[in-house]
Amino acid sequence: MRALSCSGVAIMQSHVSLTDPADISRIIEMAWEDRTPFEAIETLYGLNEPAVIQLMRKEMKASSFRMWRKRVSGRVTKHLQLRHPDISRGYCATQYKQR
């Protein structure tokens, strides 16, 4: 485990292997999610935005990668500093509620 700092708050990060298909799948899932910022991926997996882009390019078909890049380019919810200050979570408030 190593300590990271995110907005002045120390966060513990486990060492994650990018050879584990489950980790790669989760990173791709997080990258596709509109409300999950790149900073969250960096905090959890240690991959900054260029590294996520490189991973997506490597793991996806070319057409899927182009679609993803078109979707996330300029999207303010993918960057914490561009988000509206009222948005403090990375998911819909009802997303994880039991029904």
Q: How far is residue 55's CA from residue 28's CA, in Å, rounded to a whole number?
A: 8
Q: Rounded to an integer, what distance in angstroms lies between the CA atom of residue 66 and that of residue 60?
A: 9
Q: What is the pTM of this model?
A: 0.65
Q: Where are the domains of the chain?
A: 24-82
Tens digit of pLDDT for each residue in 7-43? 433 334 444 567 889 999 999 999 998 888 888 899 8
Q: Give pLDDT tens digits for 38-90.
A: 888 998 999 999 999 999 999 999 999 999 999 888 776 665 565 556 655 55
Q: At 53, is the secondary structure helix, strand, or coil? A: helix
